[in-house]
Structure 1
Amino acid sequence: MKILLPNAKELNTRIDNHPFQSLSSESQAVLAVMEAMTVQELAAFYKLKPEKAELEENRWHRIQTQQAKTYPAWQLYDGLMYRYMKRRDLSESEIDYLQDKVLIATGFYGLISPFELISPHRLDFQGSLKIGQQSLKQFWRKKYDALLADDDLILSLLSSEFEQVFSPSVQKRMIRIVFMESVAGKLQVHSTISKKGRGRLLSKLAEENCSNLEEVKNLCFDGFSYCSDLNQESTVVFLRNKF
């Protein structure tokens, strides 16, 4: 069983840091492309104002010169989903669970453990980036697929942009988790509830040491519970009634 998470744009560097960590050959190839961009090119790539792009240029330069500090990935990422996870005072069992079953999808480091030490950077799969003759998704696909080759259950908490890095055959094996609210009898899905739900679900999975789909479906948290009426073959829906 593997649980897939996306990275996040929001970063928190106000935590304990570690020295620079050596990069894989794949990460070095991505770095070479990012480091070669001018501030203007980075601004266009990220869709940022030039002054904001200067921060990203500095981050890539610090990685290139091995001056960048590193942080555990799931502590550095600080988007809404991550903020709704239990990230402090974990038991040994919870740590072992996260280490064994959770992978974070990134565009720079590949598919990594939540505890892997990484440097602050910004890169997802939305922009148009070529590594040689390949798109960033194509570049990482073989490595991404290989890490899931032996897993019979893949829970996806990813958005479509991250799922598309995997080959279609792997995507077909994924069970997608959806969070919905019933408001005055009308079903609603929106990103804030989904991000919060994903974070809380991950913590609940670790707390309960879930290892199969039936155990996942039995979870209840923050008013959410599995809704069999909305279930589909490759989708598990958690529903919360809001009055």
Structure 2
Amino acid sequence: MLFVLSPAKNLNETDPAPIKKYTQADLLQESELLMQQLSRLAPQQLAELMHVSDKIALLNAERNAAWQLPFTPDNAKQAVYMFNGDVYEGLNAATLSPTQTDYLQNHVRLLSGLYGLLRPLDLIQPYRLEMGTPFANSRGKNLYEFWGGRITELLNQTLEAADSRILINLASQEYFKSVQTKALNARLITPVFKDEKNGQFKIISFYAKRARGLMVRYAAEHCITDPEQLKNFDSEGYVFHPASSSEQEWVFIREQQSH
């Protein structure tokens, strides 16, 4: 069983990683090729491409200029500790035990516009390149064309090596579009998290993102290898809702908290 998550735009570059162990990303040569092209863009071009402020564009132009291989713990940081958005706050990987961290490394993969597919402990240098960015490159008009079947091939290799045929999709639509599902040698399960608002259950982005991280943490804490056990997920008040669920889409709901 393998989980896939989206990365985060927010990065934690200041806090040191809580563990020394690290790995190198499988697709770093592809990342280097992409960065060679990305680093040619001036801050103003980045601002227009990514629809970000001049300040953020300048920061990322500087990051692109500084990006270089090889990655070491002195110039890079493990991805699961670098990413710092809602998903990763729910996951809170820095507080997991060594055994639980090993579980993450074996059972979780992070999709990335620049790095393709990452293990949690793969070293990365700071960047911003969302998968949906229409960045024209040597392979096509966007990042989906740049990555082509490479991410899917690596997922299939990972699943085969683990003798597993189940992929739990906890990534956003933007990122999961980089996976060619028809070529994927796995059963796909997509958990969906809904919160009660005004008497109706809806996907509320902030809560749903956090819940994705919470589910991965729950799996690591309970060392889950059978997806059926995920139906017991109950972190922060979520419960599995069979009536709303299908074989492919598992719905978890949370009732409105009374104050």
Whether these two folds match at TM > 0.5 is yes
In percent, how many aligned pairs have the same letter?
A: 27
State the shift of 1:184 in Å: 5.3
Q: What is the alpha-carbon distance in structure 2 between the residues aligned to residue 227 and residue 147 of structure 1?
A: 32
Aligned match of 1:5: 5
For residues 40 and 233 of structure 1, the distance between their equivalents in structure 2, rounded to whole angstroms, comes to 47
Q: Which residue of 1 aligns with 2:125?
A: 119
Q: Does 1:201 align with 2:215?
A: yes
Aligned to 1:168: 181
What SS class does the counterpart of residue 131 from structure 1 fall into? coil
Give the Cα–Cα distance (whole angstroms) in 2 for the partners of residues 223 and 51 of structure 1.
39
Q: Which amino acid aligns with 1:100?
A: N
Which deviates the most, 184-193 or 9-18?
Answer: 9-18
The one-letter code matched in structure 2 to 1:36 is R
Q: Distance in 2 between matches of 1:88 and 1:220?
A: 21
- 1:132, distance to aligned residue in structure 2 (A): 1.0
Partners of 1:227 and 1:49 in 2: CA distance:
41
Query: CA contact under 8 A between 2:43 and 2:58: conserved in structure 1?
Result: yes
Residue 106 (structure 1) aligns with:
112
Between the aligned partners of 1:35 and 1:221, the Cα distance in structure 2 is 42
Comparing 92-101 and 21-30, the one that deviates more? 21-30
Counterpart in 1 of 2:244? 230
Summarize the alignment of residues 65-214 of structure 1 with structure 2, pairs less than 5 Å apart.
Answer: 69-134=75-140, 135-149=142-156, 150=160, 151-170=164-183, 173-183=187-197, 185-214=199-228
Give me the whole-angstrom Cα distance separating, in 1, the residues matched to 2:180 and 2:13: 34
Matched residues in 2 for 1:89 and 1:181: separation?
A: 26
1:141 to partner: Cα distance: 3.2
Root-mean-square deviation (CA, aligned residues, Å) is 2.3
Aligned-pair distance for 1:170? 4.7
SS in 1 for 2:255: strand
The match for 2:45 is 41
SS of aligned partner of 2:149: helix
Aligned equivalents of 2:31, 2:106: Cα separation in 1: 23
Aligned partner of residue 180 in structure 1, secondary structure: strand
2: CA distance, partners of 1:226 / 1:65: 44
Where in structure 1 do 4 or more consecutive aligned residues deviate above 4 Å?
Answer: 64-68
CA shift for structure 1 position 65: 8.2
**In structure 2, do the counterparts of structure 1 residues 144 and 54 end up closer, same or farther at CA, with 3 Å as the change threshold?**
same
Cα distance, 1:39 vs structure 2: 1.6
Q: CA deviation at 1:85?
A: 1.5
Distance in 1, Cα, partners of 2:219 & 2:233: 8
**Conserved 8 A contact 1:153-1:212:** no
1:64 to partner: Cα distance:
4.2
Unaligned runs of 5+ in 2: none
Letter paired with 1:153: I
Contact 1:205–1:216 at 8 Å: present in 2 too? yes
| Secondary structure, aligned partner of 2:192 | strand
Unmatched 5+ residue regions in structure 1?
none
8 Å CA contact 1:6–1:157 kept in 2: the answer is: yes
